[in-house]
C-alpha cells in the first residue's frame, strides 16, 4: 500500500511517499480502507521530535491521527463492525498511521461515520472532536449558565469547541483574528475578542473555564480571566504530573514534567484556580456521542482545504502557517 513515512525525526522534514506492507490485524482489530485523513498540528510536532520523550515511536513509521474510510475485514473478536461499514476514528497512541491506504484499528477506537457527512468532512472530526469533548464535558464538566473562553476559535479544536460549549448551554468567548470574526460568530461565539485589536485579559473576567491551545504567554494571561474555583485546561502544555502518571512515564520523566509545569501550577493555586494539561485519547464511545450531535445538526465540521493524498507534505506545510480555518484533509479516494 502507498503511505507517507517518517524516516527520522527532523524539524520541517519531509515525509517519504513509498510502498509499505498492508498492516497486520489483531483479533480485536478492524482493517479499514482509508478514504480521507485529517491533518493536525500534532502530526508536525511528532515529526519534529517534540513528543519523543512521551510518545516513543521508532522510525520508520507512518504518521497521521484522523481517518474516515470503509471496513475491509474484522478480527475474530471484533463484534461492532462488518465489512462495508463506513467508519471514522482517531487511532490510539502507539498505533497511529492514517497517512496510508489501509490501517488496522482497535474496534474500541472506531465509530460509524455520521451519515450526513462526506468522507472528507468525517476525517476532519475525530481528534478535534474528542479533544473538545474530553476538555469540556469530561474534565471541565461544563454546565448550562457557565462561561468558557476558547482560545483560537477559528482553528480545528476551536471551531468544534465553540459549537459544543454552546450546545452545553455555556456563554462562549473566543479569541481570533479580524479575518475570522464572522466565522466564529456563525459557530455561536457570544463574545469575540479580535486579538489584533484587544487584549483578552483586559476585557474578560469571571470565567469558569479556559481552553488554551496557544503559547505560554497566553496561558499565563488566561489565569486572570478565571474566577475562584475556575479551571484552566491546556492542550498545548506544559504537561503536568497527572499526565505523567496517566502515561505511565518513568520516575525521571515524571520529575521533568513536574518541574516544567511547576510555575503555572503554583500561580493557578495562588489564584484559587486549577491547571491541567490534556492530551486527548482515542475513544469510540465518545465519538458515537459526537456522531449523534453531528447527525442532529448541532455541530458541523469546518473545513479549510482538501489536498490530494500525494500532496500530504504540502498540506502539512499549509497547517504550519497557522492560518487555516478549521481543518485540512487529504483525500485518498
Give the start-to-end residue ranges of the domains of the chain: 2-125+301-331, 127-277
Question: Which residues is 32 bridged to in the sheet?
Answer: 71, 103
Paired with 172 in beta bridges are: 148
Q: Given this model, what pLDDT does residue 55 score?
A: 85
Q: Fold for domain 2-125+301-331?
A: Quinone Oxidoreductase; Chain A, domain 1 (3.90.180)
Edge-first strand order for the sheet with 191-194 is 191-194, 171-176, 147-150, 207-212, 226-234, 274-277
In this prediction, residue 54 carries a pLDDT of: 84
Query: What pLDDT score was predicted for residue 289?
Result: 98
Cell numbers of 319, please? 497547517
pTM, full prediction: 0.97
- Number of Cβ within a 10 Å radius of residue 157: 26
For the chain, what is the largest distance between any 2 Cα atoms, rounded to a whole number of angstroms? 58
Please say whether the dihedral angle defined by the alpha carbons of residues 218, 199, 153 and 233, taken in this order, is positive or negative.
positive
The CATH classification number of 127-277 equals 3.40.50.720
**Contact of 331 with 306, CB cutoff 8 Å:** yes
pLDDT in tens, 142-184: 999 999 999 999 999 999 999 999 999 999 999 999 999 999 9
Q: Mean pLDDT over residues 304-329, rounded?
A: 95
Three-state secondary structure call for residue 197: coil
Give how far Cα 203 sits from Cα of 150, 225, 250, Å: 14, 9, 42
Rounded Cα distance between 67 and 122, Å, is 8
Distances (CA, A) of 70 to 18, 31, 85: 22, 9, 6
Residues 224-235, mean pLDDT to the nearest whole number: 97
pLDDT over 70, % of the chain: 100
Q: What is d(CA 30, CA 28) in angstroms, rounded to the nearest whole number?
A: 7
Q: What is the pLDDT of residue 53?
A: 83
pLDDT (tens digit, 9 = 90+) per residue, 84-139?
999 999 999 999 999 999 999 999 999 999 999 999 999 999 999 999 999 999 99
- pLDDT at residue 123 in the model: 98
In the chain, beta strands by DSSP E: 2-6, 16-19, 29-39, 61-62, 67-74, 86-89, 102-106, 110-112, 147-150, 171-176, 191-194, 207-212, 226-234, 274-277, 303-308, 327-331
Name the average pLDDT for the chain.
Answer: 96
Given pLDDT bands bounded at 50, 70 and 90, which one contains residue 52? confident
The pLDDT of 188-193, averaged and rounded, is 98
As a whole number of angstroms, the distance between CA 52 and CA 200 comes to: 33
Task: Give the residue among 118, 49, 61 at the shortest CA–CA distance from 88.
Answer: 118
Note the pLDDT tens digit of each residue in 241-274.
Answer: 999 888 888 999 899 989 999 999 999 999 999 9
In this structure, how many other beta carbons lie within 10 angstroms of the beta carbon of residue 242? 12
Amino acid at each position: 500500500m502507498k503511505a507517507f513515512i517518517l524516516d527520522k525525526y527532523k524539524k520541517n522534514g519531509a515525509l517519504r511517499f513509498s510502498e509499505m506492507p498492508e498492516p497486520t490485524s489483531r483479533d480485536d482489530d478492524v482493517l479499514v480502507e482509508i478514504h480521507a485523513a485529517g491533518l493536525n498540528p500534532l502530526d508536525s510536532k511528532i515529526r519534529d521530535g517534540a513528543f519523543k520523550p512521551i510518545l516513543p515511536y521508532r522510525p520508520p513509521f507512518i504518521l497521521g491521527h484522523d481517518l474516515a474510510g470503509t471496513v475491509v475485514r474484522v478480527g475474530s473478536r471484533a463484534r461492532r463492525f462488518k465489512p462495508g461499514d463506513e467508519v471514522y476514528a482517531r487511532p490510539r497512541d502507539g498505533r497511529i498511521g492514517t497517512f496510508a491506504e489501509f490501517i488496522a484499528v482497535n474496534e474500541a477506537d472506531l465509530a460509524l461515520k455520521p451519515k450526513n457527512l462526506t468522507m472528507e468532512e468525517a476525517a476532519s472530526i475525530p481528534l478535534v472532536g474528542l479533544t473538545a469533548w474530553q476538555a469540556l464535558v469530561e474534565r471541565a464538566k461544563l454546565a448550562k449558565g457557565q462561561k468558557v473562553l476558547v482560545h483560537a476559535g477559528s482553528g480545528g479544536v476551536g471551531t468544534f469547541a465553540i459549537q459544543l460549549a454552546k450546545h452545553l448551554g455555556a456563554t462562549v468567548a473566543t479569541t481570533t483574528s479580524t479575518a475570522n470574526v464572522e466565522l466564529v460568530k456563525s459557530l455561536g461565539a457570544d463574545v469575540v475578542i479580535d486579538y489584533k485589536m484587544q487584549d483578552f485579559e483586559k476585557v474578560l473576567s469571571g470565567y469558569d473555564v479556559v481552553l488554551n491551545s496557544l503559547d505560554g504567554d497566553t496561558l499565563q494571561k488566561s489565569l486572570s480571566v478565571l474566577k475562584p474555583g475556575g479551571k484552566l485546561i491546556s492542550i498545548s502544555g506544559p504537561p503536568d504530573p497527572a499526565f505523567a502518571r496517566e502515561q505511565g512515564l518513568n520516575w525521571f520523566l515524571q520529575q521533568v514534567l513536574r518541574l516544567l509545569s511547576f510555575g503555572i501550577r503554583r500561580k493557578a493555586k495562588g489564584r484559587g484556580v486549577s491547571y491541567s494539561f490534556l492530551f486527548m485519547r482515542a475513544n469510540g464511545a465518545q465519538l458515537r456521542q459526537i456522531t449523534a450531535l453531528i447527525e442532529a445538526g448541532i455541530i458541523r465540521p469546518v473545513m479549510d482545504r482538501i489536498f490530494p493524498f500525494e500532496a500530504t507534505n504540502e498540506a502539512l506545510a499549509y497547517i504550519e502557517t497557522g492560518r487555516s480555518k478549521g481543518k485540512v484533509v487529504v483525500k485518498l479516494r
